[in-house]
A = this chain, B = another copy of it.
Amino acid sequence: MKLRPLHDRVVVRRVKEEEKSKGGIIIPDTAKEKPQEGVVVAVGAGLLDDNGKRIPLDVKAKDRVLFGKWSGTEVTVEGEELLIMKESDIMGVLDAK
């Protein structure tokens, strides 16, 4: 069983502390809103624009992304804890140099 997000939603698996790559993102304790690191699992087909065409999402499966701490809704699919959120909750993508 697989969770397919609707419209402009994205399914994200949160990256655990120990999995974080060296030299990766560290969230300072003083940050007002601490962004979280995750990996995109599935993306929706996109919203429809005024001409009825899909607006494809800018993130794709396997992208390593940053998102706000309180973003999304937690679900568990086949034992795996996931988050489902809107693409607009994603602030940026971490690219390997």
Measuring CB to CB, which residues of chain A are less than 8 angstroms from any residue of chain B?
1-7, 9, 11, 21, 23-28, 30-33, 35, 44-45, 48-53, 55, 58-59, 66, 68, 70, 73-79, 81, 84, 87-88, 90-97
Contacts and interface: CB of A to CB of B under 8 A. Distances in A.
A42 to B, nearest CB: 8
A92 B28 contact: no
A93 to B, nearest CB: 5
Nearest to A90: B6
A15 to B, nearest CB: 13
A39 to B, nearest CB: 14
A9 B90 CA distance: 10
A97 B77 CA distance: 12
